[in-house]
């Protein structure tokens, strides 16, 4: 299978270890590309809700796929988010082509790109972490309920619906939160003369130019792999949003899987090396 060459790929909000994660789709996407740089922009493994009883093979395959890409000379940056904040105590950890950071600034064809997850702007995270964690559990339950409803809709020959998307588009507080997040990120980027600001966290894929009296920046958000199934790609001096088309996602055959350690061994290796 020939792989599509891309200079930079950004994914975020995968939430491995939760029922809503579309790991099979993500593994299929990762297998189809050959990036020079892969940026994992937070909430890749959902350590908040990590449960040894729920870690299916499809989730492990995503981790193993990333390790395979490391072996194929892809530079991988893992930027921590709120759901994998436990990894922040290991920040600046490096191993071969892998680097664990909280934020990243890269020069991309002569322009400055600022990558970070985005939870630093979340007031709930700063002052009521227990409330944020409760919300995460509620979101996971909502996704489970949504999956059941969509299964029923499929049997009846009808299209899918998204409860959380409807809530985000209708509830004023959700709309305001997203707007405030984007305004804050772009204002700081413009003040610091960043040409690009690339975030995750709010699960809203986006590419748009933002201007104010001080200047302009290109705001990008990689979305998520729960509902939107999106990634950011940079190639030939252009950013684009990749939207994965959902099909009957069969397991991707991977001949290398038996040679790579399981998730518990991987986490143990990181903690011992840092």
Residue 146 is part of a domain; what is its CATH number? 3.60.21.10
Mean pLDDT, residues 138-154: 59
- Find where tokens 């893992």 sit: 78
Integer angstrom CA distances of residue 39 from 8, 63, 104, 117? 8, 14, 9, 11
Give me the number of domains the chain comprises: 1
- Find where tokens 């990894």 sit: 87
Q: Please, which residues bridge with residue 93 across strands?
A: 100
Longest dimension (CA), the chain: 56
For the stretch 108-121, pLDDT in tens is 999 999 999 998 87
CA distance 257 to 260: 6
Q: pTM for the whole thing?
A: 0.79
CA distance 72 to 68: 6
Confidence band (pLDDT; 50, 70, 90) for 134?
Answer: very low
Q: 129 lies in which domain range? A: 4-273
Residue 129 clears pLDDT 60, i.e. is over it: no
């Amino acid at each position: 299978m020939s792989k599509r060459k891309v200079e930079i790929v950004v994914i975020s909000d995968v939430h491995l270890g939760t029922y809503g994660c579309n790991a099979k789709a993500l593994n299929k996407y990762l297998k189809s590309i050959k990036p020079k740089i892969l940026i994992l922009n937070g909430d890749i493994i959902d350590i908040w809700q990590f449960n040894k009883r729920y870690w299916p093979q499809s989730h492990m395959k995503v981790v193993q796929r990333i390790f395979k890409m490391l072996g194929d000379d892809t530079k991988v940056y893992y930027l921590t988010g709120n759901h994998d904040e436990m990894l922040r105590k290991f920040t600046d950890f490096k191993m071969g082509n892998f680097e664990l950071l909280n934020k990243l600034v890269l020069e991309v064809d002569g322009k400055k790109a600022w990558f970070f997850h985005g939870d630093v702007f979340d007031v709930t995270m700063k002052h009521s972490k227990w409330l944020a964690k409760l919300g995460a559990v509620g979101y996971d339950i909502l996704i489970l309920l949504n999956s059941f409803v969509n299964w029923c809709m499929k049997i009846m020959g009808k299209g899918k619906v998204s409860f959380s998307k409807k809530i985000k588009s209708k509830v004023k507080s959700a709309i305001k939160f997203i707007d405030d997040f984007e305004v804050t990120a772009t204002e700081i980027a413009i003040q610091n003369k960043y040409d690009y600001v690339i975030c995750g966290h709010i699960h809203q894929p986006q590419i748009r130019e933002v201007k104010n009296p001080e200047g302009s920046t290109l705001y990008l958000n990689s979305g998520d792999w729960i509902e939107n199934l999106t990634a950011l790609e940079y190639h030939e001096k252009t950013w684009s949003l990749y939207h994965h088309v959902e099909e009957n996602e069969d397991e991707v055959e991977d001949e290398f899987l038996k040679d790579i350690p399981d998730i518990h061994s991987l986490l143990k290796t990181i903690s011992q090396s840092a």
